[in-house]
Structure 1
Amino acid sequence: MSKVHELAKMIDHSILHPTLTDEDLKRECEVAKKYDVASVCVKPYMVSSAVALLKDTNVLVGCVIGFPAGNSKIAVKVFEAETACHDGAVEIDMVINIGKALQGDWEYIEEEVGAVTKACHKNGAIVKVIFETDYVAKEADLIKLCEICTKVGADYVKTSTGFGFAKGDDGKYSYEGATIPNLELMKKNVGPHVKVKAAGGVRTLDGLLAVKKAGCTRCGATATKTIIEEAIERFGDHG
């Protein structure tokens, strides 16, 4: 596998913005096919269409649930996950109940992540657990989440949705997304069978290389074309 292809296979090409249409899905799946990325990550109603568009390729189809705020009841998240799997998704990115994490209700978080993980594995899918680190920012909380995800058998821990905008002192909204300190902390505190996915703010080749160095094996990105074209220019042909 070439260096460029290795990097492409880190990318979950994100097709999640609320304004994206079915035509946008077709265009973005073509991008995913062209660069042979690891997967596309799509909205729940798009799963079956993405599966059809990516038939006979090596690009997997993933889906978000409880996205982006994580507020759905556990049973609803399980239903969403099962439905996505039945539609053909083989990777599920779930958002935790952020408020429950912030109040330290770890019993609830363990029940929630455990239930979704069980449903995904039963249906042949892996699960990535989104912490939303712009909101759940304390190291102790991130460590506890890593411990819970390890305990219940989740496949990945993930930083962000890319939509976790926090209000600043100036009244404007912004987000950091994946930071190297958080990624290193997560990598250090998960078990050996749990991997780390960066998401939020990785828009350049150097950004992708930085999260790879921090221990990530997957990275959510909308700037896939920019990243891989830059990699081709730096490292040679994609093949």
Structure 2
Amino acid sequence: MKKTLNYLFLSIGLMTSSISYGQLQNGSTAPNFTLTDINGTTHTLYDYLDDGKTVYIDFFACHCPFCWNYHNTHALSDLYDTYGPGTVSNDVFVFAIELDPNNGTNEFYGISGTTQGNWVAGTNYPQINPEGAARNAIISDYAVNFYPLIYAICPDRTITEIGTKNVSQLYAHVSTCDNTSLGINEEEQQSFQVNQSESGISIQSDMDLSHSNASLMLTDIQGKQLVKKSFAANSEQIDIKELSKGIYFIQVTSGNQILFSQKIQL
């Protein structure tokens, strides 16, 4: 009974303390961390940001019913599976960080203790259970005062408290990040020009791409690839007559390198 009450008081304390203490200020710099997930893999935040990924962090507790409800929307799992490593866009990463000092691996798997269920089943992104000084540091660095607390961090390391959004709303944040922080050479980015008409989009480059094996890709806001074609000359066209109004993304790549990236509105 005492252990159950401790969980209850901790949850209430974390949730109510958010009234008095704010989270990290939107636009501030996210602190770096190096933590090991429950499968023994070590992750350093800035490595993913430097690789051009927008990183989402879910601070939660296994016993927290509000966290469990959001977990079961599968928004973060779907975000990771659709836009994370191995996908066409490959511009997103997700962490879940459990911060209750009483919870261990059993609680992640819903085996014992005070837990809402099996948090691991169907979850492909890393789940982390920091302990001791590491746990205290991450709580302090990220001003965690309630669960669940969801942050989005752009590749330029600026942080935003994004909240419990759906997949489309979560991924839309990627387009707000500065393209120059995506590992794109600024000179190369500026060498491309985009001209848009009612029927099509023209992309021109000052660079000679004839021997670069460059590709041009158009995706929608969901990350669905609509067009992929060779960019072998200095100019390419994309037909947009059949596209619905909305937000789309253009990328020119050469191998694993992004030469140009731009959001467009139809």
Q: TM-score, normalised by structure 1?
A: 0.28
Q: TM-score, normalised by structure 2?
A: 0.25
Answer with 1 or 2: which has the greater Rg. Answer: 2
> Larger % of helix: which?
1
